[in-house]
Structure 1
Amino acid sequence: MAIVSLITSYHELNPSTIDELDGPPPALDFMRYVSRNRGFIVRRGAKDWDAVRKWDARYLREAMKGRHVKVAVTPHGNADAVVADEAGRLSFVEPYEVNEPFETFLSFVQEDSALQDRLPKRNVRYAQTQNGNLPFEYANLAKDVPTHIAFATEALGQDPDAVNFWLGNQRSTTSLHKDNYENIYIQVRGQKHFTLLPPIEMPCVNETPTPFARYRPASDDGEDLVVEMNKDIDPTPVPLWDPDEPEVRSTVYSKYSKPLKVTLNEGDMMYLPAMWYHKVGQGNGDEGFACSVNYWYDMDFSGSFWTSNAFVRDVYNASLKSVPYPTLDMQDEPEG
């Protein structure tokens, strides 16, 4: 069928690997990657950044002394993720958020990493506000990284829309999702483990309108979190399929997916193109935390890329015999 041909043809014409460059590319070479919607890694491409050289726990504590930050709290490290209740009903659950001193937050993350499996697990804390937080919430650290990525700003003709700071440990994960940004990602401490799917694999990921919810504390100490539905937000399509559990909530097209696995180490730089699906895990650095910075540049909605992705979605919907999206109660393979 046409969708199978589309996905398989894409993989025949594109490698199931990501390019590794010797150094940050000139603007023209970067634009070639943007035009093909293909990513790359520059190993140690940010090794000379002040952040990569300086951001150990002692430096971070001193630089951020006295400053409060917003922290995402979840029971399993699954912030912004699809969660099933006891009856198997799915919801897209956002984290409970608290404001606390940065020093308190960092100490919690490091202590949590040191516990390993010796004591019962605590809630997971993760700095992931994704709102351009570095120049504002983490302004005391902003001087240690460039305000923009020179080759990207020159090629795209714009400054980044947001520069974000992220800090957590190996228990924090990000479920499969996509962003309409050209993303330059720099790993500062620890590791980031990415699972990547190109936009053409939209029919594989089982995007389904899913009710929104949020974790909230059910006890005074805030440790017991429960899911509270948010009826003010209409259900929004989110991927229900996890490439690491390929038989669960799959579609008839999931078996044609060819996920890319990428690990970023300290000082590595990656370009993640707009609309690529990505699932993210972390590995602790020597001091029990992982830390990174990313630059979001607005994607270009002109040309054919955005509309072509919409067309793939419409063809997929038509293949489901007029069902706009797979429903939440479908089995592993929808009829199609």
Structure 2
Amino acid sequence: MESVTKRLTEFSLEAHDLYLNQSVPYLEEPPDPLQFYRDWIGPNKPCIIRNAISHWPALSRWTPDYLREKVGSKVISVAVTPNGYADAVNGDRFVMPEERRMSFSSVLDVIEGKVQVSGVLYVQKQCSNLLDELPELTDDVEPHVSWMSAALGKLPDAVNFWLGEAGAVTSMHKDHYENLYCVISGEKTFILLPPTDRPFIPYGPLDPSGPSGPRPGPVPTVPESSASALQREGRRDAVPAVPVVPPRPAVPRLHRSELLVRHGVRHQIQLLPAAGDTV
């Protein structure tokens, strides 16, 4: 085990030195689809693209007053957590957020500080909620990013609208999508770990029945040691227990009108009018 762990560590360090960028590169304009596939999708590397969505009306239209006028009365799904962490390990348990139905205006009231509520609000559905819950806003954005769709040979599986307070945080996870994160307003910080660092993320067992009924049960603490390096990712009874910082994670911060490309196997677009940090 010690020998395998040593080799995995060397592999991770070599990948950072020879293959992975020390930081997420910026492109100053949208790439040609073939070039994009060759330079970024094929190598499975993230990048930040400027001037890719600057022509979208949403960048100038999506003010609180405009959103109230267009969709203020719409009732949408909102994740509510006590500390901003949704779908996260909290103490010895894996906790999902409360799903609350609220009017869009009520969410804006909280985000703007006009109304005080307990907990942190985050509109974070991943089921193409822009199209399903907020179709009135679709004219303000393009239905898909043409060069990305051309590179992948398909349209997006989902187009999502996320809106959150500064304290909203997404727990460490792995997406199965080719993600485009488009920041309309505010900023969002990402901590990106390459696949070569996966062996150093320990997993702990999860009892789906829990100690007193059908809800998430305790997650024991997993020590930050090389003994956890070879926990198999495919286990269905395991969840991330302790995030271990890799040798050199990339930490890009997206600002207004910037677009982050993050890789998986399917295609979705995330529209971020405002958000907190994501891990």
TM-score (norm 1): 0.67
In 2, Cα distance between equivalents of 1:153 and 1:122: 41
2:48 corresponds to 1:64:
no
State how far apart, in whole Å, the 2-side matches of 1:146 and 1:22 are.
20
Q: 8 Å contact 1:196–1:261 — kept in the other structure?
A: yes
Partner of residue 180 from structure 1, selected from 176, 179, 184: 176
Compute the displacement of 1:83 (Å): 0.9
Show the counterpart of 2:215.
229
Q: Could you tell me which residue of structure 2 aligns to residue 11 of structure 1?
A: 16
Aligned position for 1:290: 274
Residues 169/202 of structure 1: CA separation in 2 closer, same or farther (3 Å cut): same
Please tell me whether residue 24 in structure 1 is matched to residue 30 in structure 2: yes
Deviations 1:47-78 (A, max 9, x none): 22111121010111111032100111110111
Contact 1:188-1:291 within 8 A present in 2 as well: no
Distance (Å, rounded) in 2 between the aligned partners of 1:159 and 1:239: 31
Contact 1:197 1:257 (C-alpha < 8 Å) held by counterparts: no
RMSD: 2.6
Preserved contact between residue 211 and residue 235 of structure 1 (Cα < 8 Å): no
Aligned to 2:137: 141
Q: Which amino acid aligns with 1:65?
A: G
- DSSP 3-state at the match of 2:26: strand
Is the partner of 1:9 in helix, strand or coil? helix
Change (3 A) 1:211 1:146: farther
Q: 1:258 aligns with which of 233, 248, 257?
A: 248
Distance in 2, matches of 1:122 and 1:160, equals 35
- The 8 Å contact of residues 27 and 50 in structure 2, kept in 1 or not, is answered as yes
Match runs of 1:1-336 below 5 Å: 1-13=6-18, 14-32=20-38, 33-84=40-91, 89=92, 91-111=93-113, 122-211=118-207, 229-230=215-216, 236-242=237-243, 250=244, 256-274=246-264, 290=274
CA distance in 2, matches of 1:3, 1:291: 35
Query: 1:22-48: per-residue Cα shift (whole Å, max 9, x none)?
Result: 101110111021110001111243122
CA distance in structure 1 between the partners assigned to 2:238 and 2:247 by the alignment? 19
Q: Distance in 1 between matches of 2:10 and 2:157?
A: 36
Q: 2: CA distance between counterparts of 1:193 and 1:265?
A: 9
The 1-side partners of 2:31 and 2:157 are apart by 21
Which residue type is aligned with residue 10 of structure 1?
A: A
C-alpha contact 1:204 1:257 (8 A) present in aligned 2: no
AA partner of residue 203 (structure 2): E
Q: Quote how far apart the aligned CAs of 1:211 are.
A: 4.4
Q: Distance in 2 between matches of 1:260 and 1:269?
A: 16
Q: 1:265 to 1:83 in 2, by over 3 A?
A: same
Q: Distance in 2 between matches of 1:213 and 1:100?
A: 30
CA distance in 1, matches of 2:138, 2:17: 43
Q: How has the CA–CA distance of structure 1 residues 123 and 37 changed in structure 2, closer, same or farther, with 3 Å as cutoff?
A: same
5+ residue gaps in structure 2?
Answer: 1-5, 218-234, 266-271
- Match of 2:106, SS state, is helix
Distance 1:17 1:140, change over 3 A: same
Alpha-carbon spacing, 1:65–1:155, altered in 2? closer, same or farther (3 Å): same
Query: More strand per residue: 1 or 2?
Result: 1
Structure 2: how far apart are the matches of 1:213 and 1:109?
A: 36
Q: Name whichever of 57-66 and 158-167 sits farther off.
A: 57-66
Distance change (3 Å), C-alpha of 1:213 and 1:9: farther
- Matched-pair contact (CA < 8 Å) for 2:28–2:51: no
Residue type at the aligned position of 1:198: P
SS of the residue corresponding to residue 46 of structure 1 reads coil
Aligned length: 244
The CA distance in 2 between the partners of 1:5 and 1:75, in whole Å, is: 40
Per-residue deviation, 1:204 = 1.9
- CA gap 1:212/1:149 in 2 versus in 1, 3 angstroms: farther
**What is the CA–CA distance in structure 1 between the aligned matches of 2:237 and 2:185, rounded to whole Å?**
34
Partners of 2:50 and 2:259 within 8 A in 1: yes
Q: CA deviation at 1:236?
A: 4.2
C-alpha distance 15-132 of structure 1, shift in aligned 2 (>3 A): same
